[in-house]
Structure 1
Amino acid sequence: MISTNFEGVDKTVDSGMSNELWSMEFDGSCSSSGSGVGLVLIPPEGKVIPYSFKLEFQNTNNMAEYEALLLGLAEAKKLHIKMLKVKGDAELIVKQVRGLFTIKNERLRHYRNRVWDEIEAFDAFSIKEVPREFNLKDDSLVVFVGFLVPNPNFTTDTYRVELVYRPSMLDNSESWQVF
């Protein structure tokens, strides 16, 4: 058994199920009020495991979507998942990962390449775009976390939000900036 428990939510997973097909749905958002990532991992028996991350660094909406995907892949790897079916409502990101869209932005190309590196850890992997109305679970995880202001009195007995202070793709180029 793999247990990633925190107060209020049980994330105990039978590690023997890691060779079965899991699903992941992801969403990321960036606005003037904040940036957040929401994702769910869904084991074969269908019990949803939610994750929310508040991005505490400068980014764009596309970067937030890539961060959501990369954070989800990292969580899946922690659970030793080997077969993963991914869904997201970010057409650009999904089509870039699938190799259907060319990438002009160097930063996004680095993100896409990092995703390609990460999916090598899986025995089976697929990714597809879903319309936003079918991605409501993840969207609701993102919407509130983007507005969240960290509070030292915040407790995790009802819901956990992780703060992410650095992007998955560190960029040494001083020429790249978010305006």
Structure 2
Amino acid sequence: MISIDPQGVEKAIDSGMSDELWSMEFDGRCSSSGSGVGVVLIPPQGKVIPYALKLEFQSTNNTAEYEALLLGLVEARRLQIKMLKVRGDAELIVKQVRGLFVVKNKRLIHYRNRVWDKIKAFYAFSIEAVPRELNLKVDSLAVSAALLVPHSDFTTDTYRVELVYRPCMPDNSES
């Protein structure tokens, strides 16, 4: 996926921070002006690691939220994070992942199942819904990606926007 501040990430892994509890915030955005996702991985100490992706395929708000969540989980595992606390403002997605809401949409069932598969790799995992006003930084990353406009809180040497042409769950997916 995206390599952000490689020296800082490798220092985090070398210092054993991957054995500590990390946090992750995620958000997806879909509008007529574009779709994007934002993820921030937050180590116990040190600098946050932001990710922003512009979705260059047809999506909905819910699929954009799932894309953001999956991106974050993949990156967390790539960084060898073992314990992760996840926060997002997509209450529907969070409740579907926690098994509190029944998923009726076939495509979202595939997304939810893919998330469940990724979660199995963590020793400790939690996910919670937070109010939108507590998710503003990652929301603005998603907007930045969707519109391809630089984010004011992050400099271009700390993050970049990647264009994604295929969803995590292709239309013809059976699993």
Q: TM-score range by the shorter chain?
A: 0.7 to 0.9
In structure 1, the partner of 2:68 is 68
Structure 2 CA distance for partners of 1:46 and 1:132, relative to 1, 3 Å: farther
Aligned-residue sequence identity (percent) comes to: 74
Which amino acid is the alignment partner of residue 132 of structure 2?
R
- In structure 2, C-alpha distance between the alignment counterparts of 1:43 and 1:10, rounded to whole Å: 11
* 3-state secondary structure, aligned to 1:14: helix
- In structure 2, C-alpha distance between the alignment counterparts of 1:6 and 1:135, rounded to whole Å: 22
Which amino acid is the alignment partner of residue 12 of structure 2?
D
In structure 2, the partner of 1:146 is 146
Provide structure 1 residue ranges, at least 5 long, that are not aligned to the other structure. 150-155, 174-179
Instruction: Say if 1:37 and 1:145, in contact at 8 Å, map to a contact too.
Output: yes
In structure 1, the partner of 2:152 is none
In structure 2, the partner of 1:166 is 166
In structure 1, the partner of 2:91 is 91
- In structure 2, C-alpha distance between the alignment counterparts of 1:5 and 1:60, rounded to whole Å: 27
Normalised by the length of structure 2, the TM-score is 0.87
Structure 2 CA distance for partners of 1:20 and 1:158, relative to 1, 3 Å: closer
Q: Which 10-residue stretch deviates more, 102-111 or 9-18?
A: 9-18
* 3-state secondary structure, aligned to 1:122: coil
Instruction: Say if 2:4 and 2:49, in contact at 8 Å, map to a contact too.
Output: no
Q: Which 10-residue stretch deviates more, 41-50 or 74-83?
A: 41-50
Displacement of 1:10: 4.6
- In structure 1, C-alpha distance between the alignment counterparts of 2:99 and 2:158, rounded to whole Å: 39
The answer to which structure has the higher helix fraction is 2
Aligned length: 163
- In structure 1, C-alpha distance between the alignment counterparts of 2:25 and 2:80, rounded to whole Å: 17
Equivalences for residues 60-139 of structure 1 within 5 A: 60-139=60-139
Displacement of 1:46: 4.8
In structure 1, the partner of 2:12 is 14
Structure 1 vs Structure 2 CA RMSD: 1.9
- Give per-residue Cα distances to partners, 1:142-163, cap 9 Å, x unaligned: 11211128xxxxxx54641111
In the TM superposition, structure 1's runs of 4+ consecutive aligned residues that sit over 6 Å from their partners are none
Instruction: Say if 2:5 and 2:158, in contact at 8 Å, map to a contact too.
Output: no
* 3-state secondary structure, aligned to 1:52: strand
Displacement of 1:6: 5.0
Normalised by the length of structure 1, the TM-score is 0.85
